[in-house]
Chain A
Amino acid sequence: MAADQELLNQLADELEKARDEMREDQWKTWMRSLPQAEREAAAKKRLDVGTALLAAKNAQLQGIVAALQANETALRNGISALAAARGAAQDFQKHLKAVGDVLNVAAKVFKILT
């Protein structure tokens, strides 16, 4: 997987380099000096390089997205665990109130008895 990613990065770098060269005035001047058939082939090649570069960049981004998505189970489990911990704190609060209510009743009963 890492080797594939490395190859993809190299490919993207090479394509980017080629695209940038084809943007230079020097390359454009050279292209215009070619016979028409070769000139059209060179222009088509320039378009193809741009398209291939866009595809390579997409593949790079998709690799990152896939790695992030592989981590989503851990994130979902974490959200559940943290929510449960917070819920337990709220239960503790309710429990304290309930104990207070019971003691309040007990105090009244105790007062009557004494």
Chain B
Amino acid sequence: MMLSSWKGKAHRPSAITSGCLARALGAAILLIALSACGDARMSEHAGRLATAGIAFTDALPALYDESFRLAVAADSADLIDSRKEAPPSARQAAIEARDDLLKVRLASLDDLKRHAILLRSYFLALSGLVGTDDAEGITTAAKSLLDRMAGLDKSLEKAKIGDAPLKNYVDPIVKFGMKTYRDAALRREFEERGSAISRELWLQRVAVEWLSAEMRKNAALISKLDELGPLRAAYAGADKPDATLPGTWREERLAALNRKPKIEQIASATKAAEALYQTWSQLIAGQSGETNISLLIQDVQELIAFAQALRAVK
């Protein structure tokens, strides 16, 4: 880049100030432009992944709560179905043991909730680093700095780099500078902890997959034993063939068959966890793509809708 059109004052101190600043800015443009080439959009993708990560971790507690509700409901249905013929002592031992085991289950789910808060904090810190507020603040500060330097030497206001005024370069230089700083900080983070966070997200996927499978099984069991079972038995009239059906039978059957939120939507949780893991792995390998991020956001939005539906049922 060529520097031209310097029309400084005659006195030496301000001429040195102007020349130094112009040369420094010119060198900064070149260096920053070169350093920024290798990491185009890395911080932007990291920011969007962090936003998706925060939304993902926000949705997890509703999933954990629903998994516990289904586990207890399924166990209750199983206990009722197993009750017949069992001696009282066996029933007593079973109910006590299962209550204790469900308390243990609840403690594990609480641990998962606490861990989700920690993971959310990580994504929040990542989002804070790549957020735009600081860049804008620094740009304002740099412009203010240039204005004050122009007060020191009026010729700075007229100074040009190429055909454009020097002032026009301040904003892009500062933004590029900030981006370079952030990219360096991100690269360092990815190098130091990229694989540990990959493992974390892989384990989150394992946890969500396990819970989803359990929730499906428990929902199926409840549907069979707890809701549809008595309705079918009432219709079949095994005990009292001539008995009339309860007045609410039609509505209860419809509710049992149309239970909301539909458990099939649990697939959104597994998809979101998988997408988060894959997108992170690609990001730290320098392979981030717009498609991956867009799919991740779509999957997380589906999970949020499912979590909101779960909360609404309560």
Contact = CB atoms under 8 A, between A and B. Distances in A.
A51 B97 contact: yes
The B contact surface, by secondary structure, is helix
Contacts of B224: 23
B118 A103 contact: no
A88 B217 CA distance: 50
B181 interface: yes
A89 B178 contact: yes
A97 B147 CA distance: 12
Contacts of B142: 96
Nearest to B138: A93
A88 B188 CA distance: 14
A93 B94 contact: no
Contact of B193 (A19, A42, A77): A77
Interface string A23-42: 10000000110000001101
Contacts of A61: 105, 108, 207, 210-211
Given A42-B85, A110-B13, A97 B207 contact: no
Interface in B168-187: 178, 181-182, 185
B305 interface: no
Interface string B141-170: 110110011011000000000000000000
A83 B98 CA distance: 44
B78 interface: yes
Given A78-B189, A99-B145, A107 B79 contact: no
Nearest to A67: B203
Nearest to A83: B125
A90 interface: yes
A71 B199 contact: yes
Contacts of B192: 81
A89 B182 contact: yes
Contacts of A51: 94, 97-98, 101
Interface in B183-209: 185, 188-189, 192-193, 196-197, 199-200, 203-204, 206-207
Contacts of B98: 50-51, 54
Contact of A64 (B75, B196, B206): B206
Contacts of B24: none
Given A64-B203, A72-B115, A58 B138 contact: no
B75 A54 contact: yes
B241 interface: no
A81 B192 CA distance: 10
B85 A32 contact: yes
B151 A107 contact: yes
Given A76-B118, A89-B182, A104 B151 contact: yes
B31 to A, nearest CB: 16
Given A40-B87, A89-B138, A89-B178, A75 B200 contact: yes
A31 B85 CA distance: 9
A58 B104 contact: yes
B11 interface: yes
B228 interface: no
Nearest to A96: B141
B137 interface: yes
A92 B181 CA distance: 11
Given A51-B97, A85-B129, 10 more contacts: A40-B85, A40-B86, A48-B90, A61-B211, A68-B204, A74-B196, A82-B126, A83-B125, A89-B138, A97-B145
What are the nearest 10 A-B pairs in CB distance? A74-B196, A82-B125, A43-B86, A85-B185, A43-B85, A96-B141, A44-B90, A47-B94, A100-B145, A107-B152
